[in-house]
Amino acid sequence: MRRRTGLTHAAVAAALLIGSWAAAGTLPAAAQEAPASAAADTSAPASPGLLDAMQRDFGLTRAEAEDRLAAESRATALAPKARKTAGSAYGGSWFDARSGKLTVAVTPDADASAVRTLRESGAAVRTVAHTERQLNTAKSRLDRLDAPAGVASWAVDPAANAVVVNVVDDRRADNDVRAFVREARTAGPVTVRTVTDAPSTFAAGTVGGDPYYTGNVRCSIGFSVHGGFVTAGHCGGAGQQVRGWDGSYIGNFQGSSFPDNDYAWVNVGSGWWTVPVVLGWGTVSDQLVRGSNEAPIGASICRSGSTTHWHCGNVLAKNETVNYSQGAVHQMTKTSVCAEPGDSGGSFISGDQAQGVTSGGWGNCSGGGETWFQPVNEILNRYGLTLHTA
């Protein structure tokens, strides 16, 4: 953000999404993996703003919201250990909000001692027919198919122990959709579900007073990295100039990929700087970013964007392929959080852990919908960036 005097309170608040204070004593997170210092800490107090948002969006009491965040933090820490313990019998895992536990799927040939270890660690164990490796192989076969417009997306669903193909409800009888589904079923365990609408990206035309612009497009900043910020690739191509909320020059897109991926990063200069903060827009307190540990399926997650501001929901699926009109985008995470045009590129955060940047979806924040994000660790690794953390 540019250094200016006489900014209004609202302008200062809006600027916080862009940058990161170089606070003494803070250490950057590594791009390759979440740092040890950012490991889930179930004893850390939750932000009052985050608790307020969870109470509003999930219908919880404050105590219930605190309990859920603590349970999700334990599940996040347990998930990579569970994968290693289950070994070749691993069928995936997800957070069950009702039980407050991580559920781990294993095939019938799982080692009895491994199953016992999983249960002793606090996980619930479910026996399934297919391993995660088998499901991922089936999904990879679908990724090589040409999907028609009536097919919205597909992903491995560990709870269903299948690859779920999502078809737009009023297009399911189309001949090309039916042909895609028939071919998909030959790839492995596939099930079909319907969705209300086809996904689209959330860029928007220029509207004054929002976080950043490129050309006549308005998008939202994702997360601060050393030297800039990450955002969505469909918001601009490499070399394009970026202007801030006040119309002043910020920097340029240094790298961008869309479709196939939907990520980009922008350098920051010309009097702007960055802070490890996600803007709460006055709905909640601005959120500090402390790392990028990946939340499991079923965990709560919140999104900040320049159009609809702050909203929360659940992680629904990972590694989903989304079929936009511009082409398929891979390795996306699906959520039940709503979004609208202009929210593209904005922050997805779970607790204080960065998760990804908003790509697209369907629906809106009046009637609801689903939104996908590109995982932040993939972006950091792709461009060799380092996340700014508090």
**Residues with active-site annotation:** 234, 262, 344
Sheet holding 249-257, edge to edge: 204-205, 217-219, 212-214, 241-244, 249-257, 263-267, 228-231, 223-225
For residue 141, the tally of other CB atoms under 10 A from its CB is 15
Dihedrals φ, ψ of 38, to 5°? -100, 10
CA atoms within 13 A on the CB side of 343: 32
Cα distances (Å, whole numbers) of residue 305 to 83, 102, 339: 33, 29, 8
Q: Which residues pair with 153 in a beta bridge?
A: 166, 322
Can you say how many angstroms the Cα of residue 9 is from the centroid of all Cα atoms in its chain?
Answer: 29
Which pair of tokens denotes residue 311? 């909203």
Instruction: Enter the tokens of residue 314.
Output: 């659940």
